[in-house]
Amino acid sequence: MKKIMPIYGTRPEAIKVAPIVKALKEADEFECVVVVTGQHREMLDQVNELFGITPDYDLDVIQPRQTLNGLLTKTIAGLDEIFEKEKPDAVVVQGDTTTSTAGAIAAFYRGIPVVHAEAGLRSYDIFSPFPEEANRKLTSQIASLHLAPTSLSKRNLERETFKGSDIVITGNSVIDALLTVVEKKVPFSDPKLEELVSSGKRIVLVTTHRRENQGEPMRGIGRALAKLSNAEPDVEFILPLHRNPAVREALLPEIDGLPNVTLTEPLAYGEFTRIIDASTVVLTDSGGVQEEAPSLGKPVLVMRLNTERPEAVAAGTVRLIGTDEKRIFDSVSELLHDEAAYNEMANAVNPYGDGKASERTVAAIAELLGVGSRIEEFDSKLSDPDDMMRATSI
Ligand code: UD1
Ligand code: UDP
């Protein structure tokens, strides 16, 4: 049996790696040893609990206001000891966080093949998102197998001269996770949310956490929300707050106590996706939410100037609006009042996956290690790649 070591540390990685862990544990040819770095704590544990994953190792690296270098060095040192003991045949890292890149570097230096899930996303601006664009490019350099979610991400990698034979289009495993939880319709632990979702009122779901939005841009987001809540008293705004204290410092002075703004702690994944499903509009700077909401047919307004996920922008369900206060106000107002504009965006599209990414991932790893062969790739049915390249920024 080959020993595969998925390594993850933050909420979005946990959500996207959970279906891969499940598929690895079900495969006869693999032993799966799960390592979490603990880059996130509550937000990570919440996901592991939901998917019934008990990590074999937990580095518990989290520190209040952790620095990128502190996080990177602690993670690499911790992983190196685990590699020495476990000697995995391959590691799986996901996406573009510090955990992901630290895992890739630590494994590469030990001569362990790196499997990169969600490979090939590019905003083509090294400073935005920061540090994620750099992280994913660094990981690409040293990965042995690139699992690209879409044909566009494969094309991005090929343009950087990575070999087509080392790239497999799997779809994004976030859709595997989403399909598992969304049909369960889990109850909300807070009865107020159950009431809101059942009330038939229109809901605007808001999330924000991006590092480059912290500070003044995020205060602007808060001011735009305050104005919207005042102008739209019949609409409910729900904002699950990220655990990063910088987010609360920026937002709370602007929006705490407003009657139609519900602030919550990070929600369990099943509850959060139920709210996406019940929302009229999603306003976010998240990566994962840009992939999930289109699949549920919800218009997404993205508070960023660029995106590495242009597929749903090109499909018309996602719009980049930046963080300008007035533009946020106008864009949300338009979708709340202009039915034609709304209907144009509210289309369920699935460019990011079909729920079989983890199956393809396991097959591709089996091929890499000589114990199986890859299966048919995901067809994201994307037409014009140049059109999509134009959709990466505003
Ligand atoms: C990280 C990732 C980002 C990803 C995001 C998803 C990096 C550099 N950033 O950003 O790519 O989009 O996660 O949410 O890898 N905290 C807690 N408990 C938690 C989680 C966070 O207390 O469960 C606090 C800690 O004080 C921590 C701070 O939040 O210092 C920031 O966490 P960190 O992982 O450094 O950055 P994020 O902004 O969460
Ligand atoms: N999410 C969640 N609870 C919340 C907010 C988000 O489960 O309260 C999920 C969301 O569905 C998505 C992921 O967390 O799958 C996105 O995480 P985040 O926005 O923190 O990170 P990013 O995707 O931007 O890296």
What's the one-letter identity of residue 182? V
pLDDT score recorded for residue 389? 78
Residue 105 CA to chain centroid, in angstroms?
21
- Which range marks the domain in which residue 205 is found? 189-346
394: confidence class by pLDDT, cuts 50, 70, 90: confident
118 is catalytic: yes
387 vs 337, residue with greater confidence: 337
On whether both 220 and 365 belong to a single domain, the answer is no
Structure letter (DSSP) for residue 304:
S
Residue 175's closest CA among 376, 380, 360, 355? Answer: 355
Does residue 183 lie within any of the structural domains? Answer: no
| Catalytic-residue membership of 274 | no
The pLDDT value recorded for residue 195 is 96
Clarify whether residues 122 and 158 are in a common domain: yes
- Ligand 2 centroid to 202 CA: how many Å? 21
Q: Which amino acid, residue 317?
A: T
pLDDT, tens digit, 9 for 90 and up, residues 154-178: 999 999 999 999 999 999 999 999 9
What integer pLDDT is reported at residue 383 of this predicted model? 72
Residue 394: inside a domain, yes or no? no
Q: Are residues 167 and 286 in the same domain?
A: no
Query: Does the pLDDT of residue 146 top 80, yes or no?
Result: yes
- Given a cut of 90, is residue 381 above it in pLDDT? no
Give the residue, by CA position, lying nearest to ligand 2 atom 24. Answer: 286
211 among known catalytic residues: yes
Q: How many CB atoms lie within 10 A of CB 158?
A: 15
Asked if residue 170 lies in contact with residue 361, where contact means CB atoms within 8 angstroms, the answer is: yes
Ligand 1 binding pocket includes 264 (Cβ within 6 Å): no
Residue 216 sits at φ, ψ, to 5 deg, of -60, -45
301 and 338 housed in the same domain = yes
Tell me whether residue 209 is one of the annotated catalytic residues. yes
Alpha-carbon torsion (255, 256, 258, 259), positive or negative = positive
Q: Which of 146, 209, 219, 274 is catalytic?
A: 209
384 pLDDT above the threshold of 90: no
- Count Cβ atoms within 10 A of the Cβ of residue 255 and give its class: 0-12 exposed, 13-18 middle, 19 or more buried: buried
Q: What are the DSSP calls for 235-253, one per residue?
A: SEEEEEPPS-HHHHHHHHH
Does residue 390 form part of some domain? no
Is 184 contained in some domain? no
- The whole-angstrom separation of Cα 375 and Cα 358 is 11
43 ligand 1 Cβ < 6 A: yes
Q: And the tokens for 95?
A: 């996406």
Both tokens of 372, joined, read 């199986």
**Nearest CA residue ID for atom 15, ligand 2:** 288
Mean pLDDT computed over 141-153: 97
For the domain that residue 306 is a member of, what is the CATH number? 3.40.50.2000
Residues 393, 191: Cα–Cα separation, whole Å: 40
Is the Cβ–Cβ distance between 15 and 177 less than 8 Å? Answer: yes
Token pair, residue 120, equals 């090939």
Does 75 share its domain with 141?
yes
Selected catalytic residue, list 13, 58, 89, 118: 118
Does 333 share its domain with 362?
no
Residue 216 annotated as catalytic: no
Tokens of residue 106, six digits: 């630590």
160 shares its domain with 11: yes
The owner of tokens 């590092």 is 211
Nearest-CA residue for ligand 2 atom 6 is: 272
In a domain, 392, yes or no: no
Q: pTM score, two decimals?
A: 0.98
Does 214 map to a domain?
A: yes
Per-residue confidence (pLDDT) for residue 390, from 0 to 100: 76
Across the chain, what does the average pLDDT equal? Answer: 96
Domain assignment of residue 369, yes or no: yes
Examine residue 122 and state whether it is found in any structural domain, yes or no.
yes
Give the pLDDT mean for 123-142.
97
Residues 202 and 336 in one domain: yes
Contact 234, 257 (CB under 8 A): no
Question: Residue 385: its pLDDT value, please?
Answer: 76
User: CB under 8 Å to 67, separation ≥6 — which residues?
Assistant: none
Ligand 1 neighbour 12 (Cβ under 6 A)? yes
* DSSP element (H, E) containing 326: helix 325-337
Write out pLDDT tens, residues 27-70: 999 999 999 999 999 999 999 999 999 999 999 999 998 999 99
**Ligand 1 pocket, residue 209 CB under 6 Å:** yes
Backbone angles phi, psi at 284, to 5 degrees: -155, 160
**Residue 4 above 90 pLDDT?**
yes
Same domain membership, residue 168 and residue 21: yes
Nearest CA to ligand 1 atom 36: 244
Residue 82: its pLDDT value, please?
98
Q: What is the 42 CA–ligand 1 centroid distance (Å)? A: 11
Do 299 and 195 belong together in one domain? yes
Q: How is residue 393 annotated by DSSP?
A: B
Dig out the tokens for 243 from the structure.
């655990």
Task: State the closest ligand 1 atom to the C-alpha of 42, by its place in the atom list counted from 1.
Answer: 23
Mark whether 56 is an active-site residue.
Answer: no
Q: According to the model, what pLDDT value does residue 208 have? A: 98
pLDDT at 233 over 80: yes
The one catalytic residue among 13, 58, 89, 96:
96
**Overall domain count for the chain:** 2
202 pLDDT more than 80? yes
Take atom 9 of ligand 2 and give the residue whose Cα is closest: 269
Looking at the fold, whether 209 and 151 belong to one and the same domain comes out as no
374 lines ligand 1 (CB under 6 A): no
Considering the domain architecture, whether residues 216 and 329 belong to the same structural domain is answered as yes
